[in-house]
Homo-oligomer: A and B are copies of this chain.
Amino acid sequence: MKIIVDMMGGDNAPLAVLEGAAQAVKEYGVQLIGVGNEALVRKTAAEHNIPLDGIELVNCTETIEMCDEPARAIRQKKDSSIVVGLNMLKEGKGDAFVSAGSTGALHVGASLIVRTLRGVKRPALATMVPAKQQAYLLLDCGANVECRPEMLAAFAVMGSCYVNKVEGRKNPSVALTNNGAEESKGTPVLRDAHQLLKTTPGIRFVGNIEPRDVPNGEVDVVVCDGFTGNVILKLTEGVAKMLLGMLKQMFLANLGGKLAYLLLKGGVTDLKHQMDSEEYGGAPFLGAKQPVIKAHGSSKAKGIKNAIRQAKICVENDLCGTMQSALDELAAAQKTEE
């Protein structure tokens, strides 16, 4: 197995990517292909004493920036790390692609270069989101702003495969984000999606989930359109950041606060750990023909390492093959119904 890594993606590239890649080689024994500005990567590795064992470097001359328009960047920057890496994935030179670069460019590239599974028009971006009981898989969390009911059903099927194969959860539950528990709630799209999900084969649909219950982490897969998913993902991060910031202020306020911090240190560390999205690796584009994983743009070494581990699990468990079988079953069921 070889995992292709975008050395130029993210706020802390190439240093954080190199560190994470080197750690992944050491801990998981994976073989990596690092795509990027080879001279810069070698210089950075030498400066920071990062071993390049197990990392084959492929040089490219361009980088897709966050400000580039995604579709144009994929078409025009042919020698960028994202385009070169995705082409290598498509050509079978590697088994998965990991990047902390532009989400939009990765989405377009996954669709146009790697192509999608039968029954999927555009891949969905999925993320494990920290929650009370346990983290849940949220999809789509930003790639497809508007979604038809059939897309939401495909998300449910692919999300179930993912948490089963990658997170090891048996018979995962799936819920549809809506502004009420009743079937009659929400927009016409959501009402239709609810009916479709009730008869979707191979998933355990538990009905609508209200936003207030999402952070309880009592379902495994939370399905929604990419606009709503973006709100859920980013607002969860924002509210957690606000409250943890307020807590920190309390600890710093006076001597009593500092003493309290020492007394609670273990618990606070656990809490931060539980709320740390880097623990869960990156966000897979579900529906691409091969695993494409988007690591957080601000990933440090740990985030990159965990995204590589996640890519390895996807490959080992043939996630894409499993999803294709499940999607074919869905298509067959829909055909029978017509």
> How many identical subunits does the complex contain?
2
* A253 nearest CB across to chain B (Å): 6
Knowing A187-B145, A242-B132, say if A250 contacts B271 (CB, 8 Å).
Answer: yes
In the complex, chain B residues whose CB is within 8 Å of the CB of A187: 145-146, 227
In the complex, chain B residues whose CB is within 8 Å of the CB of A30: none
CA distance A116 to B235 in the complex (A): 32
In the complex, chain B residues whose CB is within 8 Å of the CB of A256: 263-264
In the complex, chain B residues whose CB is within 8 Å of the CB of A263: 256-257, 259-260, 263
Measured CB to CB, the nearest residue on chain B to A188 is: B146
A-side interface residues, number (CB < 8 Å): 53
In the complex, chain B residues whose CB is within 8 Å of the CB of A131: 242
Asked if B257 contacts A264 (CB within 8 A), the reply is yes
Name A's interface SS: helix
Residue A92 is within 8 A (CB to CB) of chain B in the complex:
no
In the complex, chain B residues whose CB is within 8 Å of the CB of A226: 179
| Stretch binding the partner chain, chosen from A39-47, A167-175, A210-218, A309-317 | A210-218
Asked if B228 contacts A212 (CB within 8 A), the reply is no
Residue A234 is within 8 A (CB to CB) of chain B in the complex:
yes
Residue A240 is within 8 A (CB to CB) of chain B in the complex:
yes
Interface residues of A in 217-261 (CB under 8 A from B): 226-228, 230-247, 249-251, 253, 256-257, 259-261
Asked if B250 contacts A260 (CB within 8 A), the reply is no
CA distance A268 to B250 in the complex (A): 8
CA distance A263 to B250 in the complex (A): 10
Asked if A231 contacts B228 (CB within 8 A), the reply is yes
* A290 nearest CB across to chain B (Å): 27
In the complex, chain B residues whose CB is within 8 Å of the CB of A259: 260, 263
A-B contact pairs, 10 of them (CB 8 A): A211-B238, A215-B241, A228-B228, A231-B235, A235-B235, A239-B239, A239-B240, A243-B243, A250-B264, A257-B264
Known: A213-B238, A243-B244, A260-B263. 11 other contacts (CB 8 A): A131-B242, A145-B179, A179-B226, A212-B237, A212-B238, A214-B235, A235-B236, A236-B239, A239-B243, A256-B263, A257-B263
